[in-house]
Amino acid sequence: MTMQTQKIELSVFVPGAQGTVMGFAPGHELSSFVPKPTTGYQFPKTALRDMFAFLGRADGDGLFLSGPTGCGKTSLILEVAARLNWPVRRVNGHARLEVHELIGSMSLAPVKGGGAATRFQHGPLAMAMREGSIFILDEIDLLDPAISAGLNAILEGNPLVIAENGGEVIVPHPNFRFIATGNTAGLGDDTGAYAGTVTQNLAYMDRFWVVQVGYPTQDVEEQILEARFSGLLDQRIATSMVRVANAVREQFIGTGNAGATLSITFSTRTLIRWAQILLHISRSPIEGSKLEYALDRALTMRARPHEREAIVQIGRSIFGSAWT
């Protein structure tokens, strides 16, 4: 499978930026696996620089993006891939994930003329290695360490040998990249905020570049809301909404802050959801605070009662009279 390389202007990532980065010409045969770009997406500059460095020359290593829930780890990968016209294969990790779900297995497949026959069906990782896609393994710290350690040879850049398919050998395509995401950097969770995460095999984690991704700054999140809602959201409201999100994050126990008390946090996607609901109900006859009504449905209805009250109080203190 051939994808023609092409220089991509850096200005498509950061307006006004000079220079180019290597990507692929649009319209190639794997275009259906290229993500769609989000208009107005704001790239975190340090993480973007690290992404370019990794994609340009991985040298057999994988890339691990670590950060709190909802900070945009996977979105960063997808938005970069979208602008580079780089196809993506993606799998969500979980405790019961088996290697065959990534590599492939024997299964019934339709044949010409009707009926079915048992054939080997390649999994997303095997396909990505063969065709030169980016493979994303989300929530890697939920995996059984024995399963993740089974991927060591692939992360060393070695060919994949599929014994179940007659010893088929897949040599990694030069454009193949392995990227993982997680909340705990593979070290387990001491805070109790990320249930189900486990400490990963040290030899496995040693095969990754590690990049920390955090929540966007106040200014950037305001720009995200502006780009998403195109002036429909009052700027003063947007500014206060972001301040509420940041105040909740400071109290999230997943930050490791010794004085933090909240077991839930305020992700960027939750912030966007809050704004969406608020705009949707803006003309509806709702008793009480519409900001609180929307916040309940975006976040606080899944919080413990005392945590919900604490978050609502944060909102009241920041918005003042505008809360009612």
Q: What is the pLDDT along the chain (324 residues), one digit of tens a residue?
A: 579 999 999 999 999 999 999 999 999 999 999 999 998 889 999 999 999 999 998 677 999 999 888 889 999 999 999 999 999 999 998 888 888 899 999 888 788 877 788 889 999 999 999 999 999 999 988 888 888 888 888 888 899 999 999 999 999 999 999 999 998 877 766 666 676 777 777 777 888 999 999 999 999 999 999 989 988 999 999 999 999 999 999 888 666 566 678 888 999 989 999 999 999 999 999 999 999 999 999 999 999 999 999 999 999 999 999 998
For the chain, domain boundaries: 5-212, 218-323
Could you give the 3-state DSSP secondary structure of residue 208? strand
Pick the CATH number of 5-212 from 2.40.30.10, 3.30.70.1400, 1.20.1250.20, 3.40.50.300: 3.40.50.300
Question: Phi and psi at residue 211, in whole multiples of 5°?
Answer: -125, 125
Q: Which candidate, 139, 52, 130, 144, places its Cα nearest to that of 98?
A: 144
Angle between helices 305-319 and 290-298 (to 10 degrees): 140
pTM score, whole prediction: 0.87
H or E, element range at 145: helix 145-149
The C-alpha atoms of residue 164 and residue 152 are separated, in whole angstroms, by: 19
